[in-house]
C-alpha cells in the first residue's frame, strides 16, 4: 500500500486552546477517509495544517513519503476548504479555463471533469446563476482538473438541500470508485458511513478512533437484562467469560452486559437458569453506529 499522507503527533495551539492534540494517522492510496467529529473538534484546523495554510505548533506531517517539499507535494492535491469562489459573471467553462491557465492544464480536461460532476450541459451558464449544490460541484470539477493524487473536502455537503447532498455524495462515490484517494471532514456520521471506507474520529483535537468504517461496528453487541435480584445477576454475569463488562442502567432497574463472543440470548438464559437465576427481561441488541459515535464523542 502506498502512503499518501502521514501525520505524526500533529498539534496546533491557539493561545491556551489546543485545537489539534497529538494527532497521528495515515492515508493510504485508494481509500476514502472521513475525519469525523462534532463542531469545533479540530477538523478544519487539521486540514489547514496539511494544506500549509495553518502553521502547526508541533509534530510532523509528510506527503508522499516525504520525498518532496510540501509546496511541491500540494501540486498533486486537489482541495476545497472554503466556499467555492469563482467569477460570478463568467460562465462555468470560462472560470475553469482560468483555473487551467493557473494550473498549467490543457483545456481538454474541462469537459471531462464537468461530465463527472454532471454540469456539462450547464457549462455556458454564469456562475452566479448556479445553485449552491452546482457551485459545490463546479468546485469539485475545478479541484479535479489537474488529476490530483488525492481530493480533500471540508464539509462538502454543508448548507445543501437533500437532493444537493445526494448528488455530492454520489459524485464522491463515483470518483472514489475510479480509484481516487479522498479525505473529507464531516460532522455527519451518516455521511461518513455512506461514502467513506475509513474514519478518524476526533473530539477536542484528540483522536478517539481510527480504522475502517466496517470495523467500527464490528462488536458482538450487548444484552439488556434484569431479574428480581439485580446484585446476584450482576455478579453472575461478571463470572461469565463471554461477558466483557456489565453496566447498570439504573433508572430502568436493569443491566447492560457487553458480549465478547457471538452468544445467543437463549444461550445466556440457559446458563443463568442453570445457576438458579431467572431473568424477567432479556433483550439482545447491537449498538448502532450512531450510538457508538455519540458514546465516543460525548464530553
Ligand X SMILES: Nc1ncnc2c1ncn2[C@@H]1O[C@H](COP(=O)(O)OP(=O)(O)OP(=O)(O)O)[C@@H](O)[C@H]1O
Positions touching ligand X (CB under 6 A) are 14, 17, 19, 37, 39-45, 187
The residue (of 81 and 105) whose beta carbon lies closer to ligand X is 81
Q: How far is the CB of 202 from ligand X (least distance, A)?
A: 7
Q: Can you tell me whether residue 180 is helix, strand or coil?
A: coil
Nearest to 44 by CA among 77, 69, 79: 79
Q: How far is the CB of 164 from ligand X (least distance, A)?
A: 18
The residue (of 43 and 137) whose beta carbon lies closer to ligand X is 43
Q: Can you tell me whether residue 164 is helix, strand or coil?
A: helix
Nearest to 186 by CA among 163, 148, 160, 218: 160
The residue (of 43 and 113) whose beta carbon lies closer to ligand X is 43
Cβ neighbours of 239 (radius 10 Å) = 9
Total H helices, total E strands in the chain = 11, 13
Nearest to 47 by CA among 67, 14, 74, 75: 74
Residue in the structure block whose three cell numbers are 482560468: 98
Nearest to 155 by CA among 131, 196, 133, 185: 185
Q: How far is the CB of 35 from ligand X (least distance, A)?
A: 8
Rg, C-alpha atoms of the chain:
24
Q: 154: phi > 0 → left, psi -120 to 50 → alpha, else beta; which?
A: beta
Q: How far is the CB of 120 from ligand X (least distance, A)?
A: 32
Q: How far is the CB of 88 from ligand X (least distance, A)?
A: 25
The residue (of 20 and 272) whose beta carbon lies closer to ligand X is 20
Strand partners, 202: 207
The residue (of 61 and 222) whose beta carbon lies closer to ligand X is 61
The residue (of 22 and 125) whose beta carbon lies closer to ligand X is 22
Q: How far is the CB of 190 from ligand X (least distance, A)?
A: 16
Amino acid at each position: 500500500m502506498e502512503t499518501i499522507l502521514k501525520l505524526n503527533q500533529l498539534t496546533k495551539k491557539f493561545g491556551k486552546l489546543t485545537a489539534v492534540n497529538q494527532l497521528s494517522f495515515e492515508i493510504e492510496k485508494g481509500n476514502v477517509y472521513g475525519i469525523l467529529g462534532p463542531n469545533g473538534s479540530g477538523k478544519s484546523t487539521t486540514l489547514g495544517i496539511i494544506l500549509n495554510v495553518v502553521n502547526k505548533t508541533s509534530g510532523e506531517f509528510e506527503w508522499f513519503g516525504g520525498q518532496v517539499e510540501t509546496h511541491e507535494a500540494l501540486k498533486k492535491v486537489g482541495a476545497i476548504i472554503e466556499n467555492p469562489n469563482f467569477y460570478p459573471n463568467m460562465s462555468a467553462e470560462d472560470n475553469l479555463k482560468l483555473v487551467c491557465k493557473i494550473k498549467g492544464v490543457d483545456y481538454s480536461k474541462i469537459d471531462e471533469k464537468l461530465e463527472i460532476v454532471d454540469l456539462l450541459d450547464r457549462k455556458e451558464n454564469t456562475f452566479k446563476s448556479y445553485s449552491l449544490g452546482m457551485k459545490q460541484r463546479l468546485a469539485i470539477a475545478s479541484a479535479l482538473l489537474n488529476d490530483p493524487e488525492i481530493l480533500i473536502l471540508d464539509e462538502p455537503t454543508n448548507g445543501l438541500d437533500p437532493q444537493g447532498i445526494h448528488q455530492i455524495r454520489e459524485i464522491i462515490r463515483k470518483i472514489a470508485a475510479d480509484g481516487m484517494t479522498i479525505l473529507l471532514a464531516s460532522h455527519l456520521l451518516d455521511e461518513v458511513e455512506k461514502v467513506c471506507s475509513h474514519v478518524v474520529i476526533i473530539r477536542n483535537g484528540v483522536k478517539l478512533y481510527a480504522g475502517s468504517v466496517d470495523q467500527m461496528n464490528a462488536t458482538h453487541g450487548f444484552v439488556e437484562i434484569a431479574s428480581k435480584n439485580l446484585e446476584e445477576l450482576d455478579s453472575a454475569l461478571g463470572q461469565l467469560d463471554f461477558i466483557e463488562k456489565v453496566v447498570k442502567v439504573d433508572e430502568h432497574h436493569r443491566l447492560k452486559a457487553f458480549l465478547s463472543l457471538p452468544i445467543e440470548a437463549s444461550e445466556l438464559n440457559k446458563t443463568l437458569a442453570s445457576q438458579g437465576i431467572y431473568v424477567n427481561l432479556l433483550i439482545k441488541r447491537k449498538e448502532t453506529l450512531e450510538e457508538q459515535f455519540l458514546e465516543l464523542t460525548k464530553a
